[in-house]
């Protein structure tokens, strides 16, 4: 446990806030912690049909490059993770899933940021938008691709998929996180 | 591609920096991007013996809670990822690995942060510190635990392991990311 002595808001942005907190460690020593506050997010592994996954190729300004990702997005005010997952699926892929299963949830960067990401598997996809819609929030989606799950895992192995949530989601779905007895 | 028109340093901390950049989108429209700049990091899956992994239980101020994680840390100036992996292993577990294999690298949060994390598997562990050393940087490691890999995967399934890099690393090692033909 670390006790917050003082919390200073350094920056309050549209999506993230940065705090610099003075804290007291269990030893009694004082130090500072920088925390990026984030409203939380969802990521969705969209299964087009048995053994096939849909990925998006997207420009990410933070890393100045195009990367393959599963559809994902930030929770909006008053939105449940399930609603957010459905919205992001339509916005980013043009498909609405008839089936949405929660796989789990995780912290992508717990050392820096409080973002909690909810991970889903989506299937029975129904096309909602004739072509990929215009994503809001100035997203730059370049391409939606359909791949065999085995191809996608091979791309992880080769270093062609380098997005953390996408690696988590694909491995989770491919290997199904079987029960203990099974391996 | 998004063109940087102007970059403003909002905060320059010990480990992270926050920038607010004005950018021009491919459409010609202008917007702002918030980017957390991070020096990069490593994470290590330590294999104690065949089928057994070592995890640490650590307090994370950002999420105000204790979570299970694989050993990990931020790259120091002039340090290679391999050196960093070795240092973090000794600091956080007391063991130095005689064998270190690179599994891959990924961006934990490419929508917000440029952090690139290098992922390793460590084995043939040799005890260097009689008990767990005092971790520097005011880390709060509560406990080092040894688990069967199957147990660890079960903890992912049950939601008891909620750290992104740990989920990536454990699934990567457990399933070995076999070649395409194998599944």
Nearest to A46 by CA among A134, A137, A149: A149
Would an 8 Å CB–CB cutoff place B130 in contact with chain A? Answer: no
How far apart are the CA of B96 and the nearest CA of chain A, in angstroms?
Answer: 23
C-alpha span between B59 and B70 (Å, rounded) = 13
pTM summary value: 0.92
* The pLDDT value given to residue A132: 56
- Cβ contact, residue pair B109, A111, below 8 Å: no
Q: Is the dihedral of CA B11, B12, B16, B19 positive or negative?
A: positive
* B142 vs B98, residue with greater confidence: B98
- Tens of pLDDT along A131-170? 555 555 556 677 899 999 999 999 999 999 999 999 999 9
* The pLDDT value given to residue A179: 44
Alpha helices in A44-176 (DSSP H): 81-93, 149-157, 164-175
Closest-CA residue in chain B for A172? B171
- Cβ contact, residue pair A10, B14, below 8 Å: no
How far apart are the CA of B22 and the nearest CA of chain A, in angstroms?
Answer: 11
Interface test with B, best of A66, A84, A106 (most B CBs within 10 A): A106
Q: Which of B15, B61, B168 sits opposite A164 (nearest CB)?
A: B168
């Amino acid at each position: 446990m670390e006790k917050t002595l003082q919390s200073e808001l350094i920056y309050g942005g549209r999506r993230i806030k940065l705090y610099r907190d003075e804290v007291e460690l269990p030893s009694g020593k004082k130090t500072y912690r920088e925390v990026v506050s984030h409203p939380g997010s969802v990521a969705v592994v969209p299964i087009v049909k048995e053994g096939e996954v849909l990925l998006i190729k997207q420009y990410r300004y933070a890393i100045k490059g195009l990367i393959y990702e599963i559809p994902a997005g930030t929770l909006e005010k008053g939105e449940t993770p399930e609603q957010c997952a459905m919205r992001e699926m339509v916005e980013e892929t043009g498909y609405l899933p008839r089936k949405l299963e929660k796989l789990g949830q995780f912290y992508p960067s717990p050392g820096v940021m409080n973002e909690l990401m909810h991970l889903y598997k989506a299937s029975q996809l129904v096309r909602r938008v004739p072509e990929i819609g215009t994503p809001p929030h100035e997203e730059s989606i370049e391409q939606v691709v359909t791949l065999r799950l085995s191809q996608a895992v091979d791309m992880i192995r080769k270093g062609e998929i380098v997005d953390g949530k996408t690696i988590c989601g694909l491995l989770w779905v491919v290997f199904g996180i079987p029960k203990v007895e099974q391996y």
